[in-house]
Structure 1
Amino acid sequence: MSVEVIRAAALQGVAHGFLGRRGGVSTGDYAGLNVGIGSDDDPDAVAANRARALAAVVPGAALATLYQIHSAEALIVREALDGPLRPRGDALVSDRPGIALGILTADCAPVLFADREAGVVAAAHAGWKGAIGGVTDSAIAAMESLGARRDRIHAAIGPCIARASYEVDAAFARRFEADDPANERFFAPGRAGHFQFDLEAYVAHRLAAAGVARVEALGLDTYPDESRFYSYRRATHRGEPGYGRQISIIGLA
């Protein structure tokens, strides 16, 4: 099976792709295109999957990834950053051709950005902590430092856990409402004392509020589609010993 590359209309003309688990060499619980260095998968399989992912999106480029920590930290990248010594953070920004920016997810929202005119791209890992902490704002600010303008930036939100699959407790909802009472709109009533959180809509709201020119949400739920995506929450609910990670990549040719 070939690597499945999901592309966004908002990023047309820029080398990019949101990848799932189709087209990899891992087996067992990690079957497919697991790119998680921190997983217990066979390291050789992970390396092969990362090479396949890169070749499917930005062939010939050098990959830059992070040790992701659910922060709002954005790093400007001018060289390959991969392997066990990669820096900590949750967003990557570059204006260098030949560098592919990669963000790993397994329910969190991957966000890819581009200002075509300035030749600046970015990739952000937006879990709930990073999203409320402002990781997308940090990515946009770093893009601007390289000459991008937010009124020219296009952004796309890739596969992530959807509201129907994302149950949270009342304390979680109160944290968002304390930050902004209008955030109540991203929570739907669930079972007693619980809510369903729309992470994708919240991230889209943050991007729109920041003034980016175009925001596209792909509307793909990682949790129920086992054949297509890895999901941390699904693996946890099943009591599985580990879970795979998928990658989203953007780069300048």
Structure 2
Amino acid sequence: MSIWIWQPAKNQAGKPFLTCVLLPQPHGFFTSQFYPQAPAELAKILSPKAEVYRVKQVHSGDVLLPSEIESATASELSHRSELSHPSEATTVPFPLADGIATEKPNQVAWACSADCTPALIGDVETGQVAAVHAGWRGTAQKILPNAIARLQSQGSQLKNLRIALGPAIDGSVYQVGYSVAIEVGKSVSHLDGKALIEHLMAIDNPPILSDQVEGRVRLDVRRINQMQLVKIGIQPECIAIAPHCTYQEPDTFFSYRRTKEKKVQWSGIVSI
């Protein structure tokens, strides 16, 4: 039995979204077929009465709690209410971050992606969850361990966490320069420079592969995230990587590298 399952979306003309059996909480990795639906609408598919939380993603390592999102939003709205153009004050702002960790039941956390890794985290004991956008920059800043640290601060234990790394650009086709590979690779090794590249290319299931172009390699960002998680104490069997590549599946997923279009698919998970 596969741990990744396509679910038919209710009231969505049969458009499917992807789920992972490791996560007991309602969740979904939605496809390009749902575009341009936003989290507020997509949340109705997962849990109609859940409170929706999202952020403005900026390729950081920052993870916010819903209370922090609410506080930042209220502060910004108060500031905008003082502007001379009332229409600007009514626009709901989203604070800058790339991850959300919930605090209470029935909160749905969202992340969007279009080649970067969407990661959903669930605690099988507390019911709390996190949604993370892990591009190479966020991965270099260890955003997934940061999200887990926030869950731990609220009582989560590593042994109870399950992590699903959703559809993203596959390492076999993600060409990057040495500098990018080194910056990301340093998050899982004490080495640097060419020695780091050579080391990561030589290990089992390598996160860095060779490329025909001089000065370039292929980088598997999801594999780096998996290595980071194992390094902090998550068991390998508690981590799942989706067998889907956004770049190579144009009928199902948006890929910025493939089309240069600023379109995204959303991934969300509900705390219980």
Name the TM tier (shorter chain). 0.7 to 0.9
Q: Distance in 2 between matches of 1:146 and 1:116?
A: 14
In the alignment, structure 1 residue 225 sits paired with structure 2 residue 246: no
Question: 2:53 corresponds to which residue?
Answer: 64
Q: Distance in 1 between matches of 2:117 and 2:185?
A: 20
The one-letter code sitting in structure 2 at the alignment partner of 1:245 is: V
CA contact (8 A) 1:3 1:56 kept: no
Q: Distance in 2 between matches of 1:84 and 1:205?
A: 37
Question: Which of 119, 125, 132 is equivalent to 1:111?
Answer: 119
The one-letter code sitting in structure 2 at the alignment partner of 1:247 is: W
Following superposition, the deviation at residue 171 of structure 1 comes to 2.6
Question: Which of 67, 74, 77 is equivalent to 2:66?
Answer: 77
Following superposition, the deviation at residue 202 of structure 1 comes to 1.1
CA contact (8 A) 1:5 1:57 kept: no
> Please, what is the CA RMSD of the aligned residues?
2.0
CA contact (8 A) 2:50 2:107 kept: yes
CA contact (8 A) 1:103 1:249 kept: yes
In the alignment, structure 1 residue 135 sits paired with structure 2 residue 143: yes
Q: Distance in 1 between matches of 2:186 and 2:234?
A: 25
Question: 1:5 corresponds to which residue?
Answer: 17
Alignment of 1:208-223 (within 5 A): 208-213=230-235, 214-223=238-247
Question: Which of 78, 103, 112 is equivalent to 1:95?
Answer: 103
The one-letter code sitting in structure 1 at the alignment partner of 2:39 is: R
Following superposition, the deviation at residue 80 of structure 1 comes to 7.5
Q: Distance in 1 between matches of 2:68 and 2:26?
A: 17
Question: Which of 200, 224, 231 is equivalent to 1:202?
Answer: 224
Q: Distance in 1 between matches of 2:67 and 2:124?
A: 18
**What is the TM-score normalised by the length of structure 1?**
0.82
Structure 2, unaligned stretches of length 5 or more?
Answer: 1-12, 74-90, 190-195
Tell me the secondary structure at the aligned position of residue 208 of structure 1. helix
Number of residue pairs matched by the alignment: 225
Following superposition, the deviation at residue 138 of structure 1 comes to 0.6
The one-letter code sitting in structure 2 at the alignment partner of 1:148 is: S
Percent of aligned positions that are identical: 25
Distance 1:53 1:92, change over 3 A: same
Q: Which moved more, 1:177-186 or 1:166-175?
A: 177-186
User: Who wins on radius of gyration, i.e. which is larger?
Assistant: 2
Q: Which moved more, 1:128-137 or 1:162-171?
A: 162-171
Q: Distance in 1 between matches of 2:28 and 2:186?
A: 35
Alignment of 1:172-251 (within 5 A): 172-178=180-186, 180=189, 181=196, 182-184=199-201, 185-193=206-214, 194-213=216-235, 214-236=238-260, 242-251=261-270
**What is the TM-score normalised by the length of structure 2?**
0.76
Q: Distance in 2 between matches of 1:121 and 1:177?
A: 27
Q: Distance in 2 between matches of 1:178 and 1:212?
A: 19
Following superposition, the deviation at residue 177 of structure 1 comes to 4.5
Question: 2:32 corresponds to which residue?
Answer: 21
Question: Which of 176, 179, 190 is equivalent to 1:171?
Answer: 179
Tell me the secondary structure at the aligned position of residue 165 of structure 1. coil
CA contact (8 A) 2:140 2:185 kept: no
CA contact (8 A) 2:174 2:220 kept: yes
Following superposition, the deviation at residue 51 of structure 1 comes to 3.9
Q: Distance in 2 between matches of 1:20 and 1:234?
A: 16
Tell me the secondary structure at the aligned position of residue 7 of structure 1. strand
